[in-house]
């Protein structure tokens, strides 16, 4: 049995209580963000275990270790009336409630905002769903992959002659989680200034990603331009691409502004272009995209990645190596800055994960523990707090409605 008495630690959100009810990524990632900054997270998972526990390879889901870090676990079957009652009791003392089921589902369980605010007027409730709580698609099932397609992101990602390209990690969930995190904090700020009244927040998976597509929408509505796949090029900037090196690695370059472009030309031995009006501005260079890319690509193939980065850094060029995960771990800047951290785990041993972001000087966040391996690690603690007797807890445990570890 795992120790369930660890301190939540410090952080700017210490003292904030959040109840998380959801599966997979967007909703739970919002809670993870808040947990990293010191909030107490009570994660409700089915007594049989969250679905993320079964993702990936091996007996212990490494993904679970990341997304369930810093969370206290309560095993409850919320679909049963007795289970929903336990969650309602927990929510009476919570600041935030995060759920990411299909719209209307939590209302069936008596966990909708109108019901909850009667007993907890200050509660901030956040819904995350594929298409939002309203609209003709609201009842459709939605996951990050579908949002990446529906939002227009996949249509503009990939090579011009290739298929629309999806990311290999839950990008839409991550973007929605960041949006949800700042939305919760904004609602809490407002609550403290309007008499302690909370709010209800509606986030779809596709809209945060759509909002990040820059001028794609206005380019069409005002210019009639439909953005399409352009590989690693950009319609608005050149040189901007990834280039293969002599040792079969890659370098990314971005020089939308003119002065970085001139420094790049100097670095690759083309000082003549720095005084040529045909290459002086981004607008002029965009007329010569192929020529520009071919010239840079030919030079890159003559040198190794390390040689290229040394040369480009000497000229202050806007460039970076395209790292794989091994390269990231070996990078001296990543190591010195502490972008990753090793966390002890009772099953996995010392485990390297990404460090908390952002960084606070006076009240830094911290990863106190990785996702716990037992379901219901903290069920007993919170049911006692909610006023359940030992007999009631044992009865609910035997019935399978709760899991007590």
pLDDT given at position 273: 94
Selecting among 36, 50, 95, 173, the annotated active-site residue is 173
Closest among 96, 301, 78, 106 to 189, alpha carbons compared: 96
Sign of the torsion angle spanned by Cα atoms 105, 109, 115, 116:
negative
Least confident of 37-41, 245-249, 283-287: 283-287
Helix, strand, coil tally for the chain in percent (to 5) = 40, 15, 45
| 234 pLDDT above the threshold of 80 | no
pLDDT given at position 272: 95
To the nearest whole number, what is the mean pLDDT of the chain? 92
| 270 pLDDT above the threshold of 90 | yes
Task: Report the greatest alpha carbon distance in the chain.
Answer: 85
pLDDT in tens, 356-391: 999 999 999 999 999 999 999 999 999 999 999 999
Whether 77 is catalytic is no
pLDDT given at position 1: 30
Q: What is the reported pTM?
A: 0.91
Q: Give dist(CA 399, CA 351) in Å, integer.
A: 36
156 vs 267: which has the higher pLDDT: 267
Which residue carries 């990524």 as its tokens?
Answer: 25
Token pair listed for 92: 């009476």
pLDDT in tens, 187-212: 999 999 989 999 999 999 999 999 98
| 283 pLDDT above the threshold of 50 | yes
pLDDT given at position 128: 97
| 70 pLDDT above the threshold of 70 | yes
Q: Which of 191-195, 211-215, 219-223, 236-240 has the highest mean pLDDT?
A: 191-195
Q: What is the DSSP letter of 356?
A: P
Least confident of 123-132, 190-199, 214-223: 214-223
| 350 pLDDT above the threshold of 70 | yes
The whole-number average pLDDT for the span 272-277 is 94
| 289 pLDDT above the threshold of 80 | yes
pLDDT given at position 60: 58
| 7 pLDDT above the threshold of 70 | no
pLDDT given at position 124: 98
pLDDT given at position 58: 55
pLDDT given at position 324: 93
Are 49 and 43 in contact, with CB atoms under 8 Å apart? no
């Amino acid at each position: 049995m795992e120790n369930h008495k660890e301190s939540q630690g410090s952080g700017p959100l210490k003292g904030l209580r959040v109840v998380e009810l959801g599966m997979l990524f967007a909703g739970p990632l919002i809670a993870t963000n808040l947990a990293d900054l010191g909030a107490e997270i009570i994660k409700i998972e089915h007594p049989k275990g969250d679905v993320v526990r079964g993702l990936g390879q091996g007996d212990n889901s490494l993904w679970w270790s990341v997304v369930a870090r810093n969370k206290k676990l309560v095993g409850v079957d919320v679909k049963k009336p007795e289970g929903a009652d336990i969650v309602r009791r927990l929510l009476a003392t919570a600041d935030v409630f995060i759920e990411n089921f299909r719209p209307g589902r939590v209302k069936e369980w008596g966990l909708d905002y109108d019901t909850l605010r009667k007993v907890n007027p200050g509660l901030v409730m956040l819904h995350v769903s594929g298409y939002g709580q309203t609209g003709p698609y609201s009842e459709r099932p939605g996951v990050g992959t579908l949002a990446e397609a529906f939002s227009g992101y996949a249509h503009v990602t990939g090579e011009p002659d290739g298929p629309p390209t999806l990311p290999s990690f839950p990008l839409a969930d991550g973007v929605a989680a960041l949006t949800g995190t700042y939305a919760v904090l904004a609602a809490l700020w407002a609550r403290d200034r309007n008499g302690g009244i909370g709010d209800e927040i509606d986030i779809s998976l596709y809209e945060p990603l759509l909002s990040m597509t820059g001028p794609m929408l206005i380019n069409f509505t005002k210019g009639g331009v439909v953005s399409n796949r352009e590989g690693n090029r950009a319609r608005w900037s050149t040189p901007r691409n990834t280039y293969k090196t002599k040792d079969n690695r890659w370098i990314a370059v971005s020089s939308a502004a003119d002065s970085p472009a001139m420094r790049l030309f100097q670095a690759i031995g083309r000082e003549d272009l720095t005084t040529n009006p045909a290459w002086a501005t981004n607008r002029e260079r965009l007329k010569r995209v192929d020529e520009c890319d071919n010239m840079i690509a030919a030079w890159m193939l003559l040198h190794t990645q390390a040689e290229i980065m040394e040369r480009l850094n000497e000229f202050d060029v806007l460039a970076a190596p395209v790292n794989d995960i091994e390269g990231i771990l070996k990078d001296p800047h990543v190591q010195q800055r502490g972008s990753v951290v090793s966390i002890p785990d009772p099953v996995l041993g010392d485990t390297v994960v990404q460090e908390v972001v952002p960084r606070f000087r006076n009240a830094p966040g911290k990863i106190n523990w990785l996702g716990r391996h037992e379901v219901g690690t903290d069920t007993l603690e919170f049911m006692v707090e909610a006023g359940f007797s030992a007999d009631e807890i044992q009865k609910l445990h035997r019935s399978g409605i709760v899991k007590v570890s």
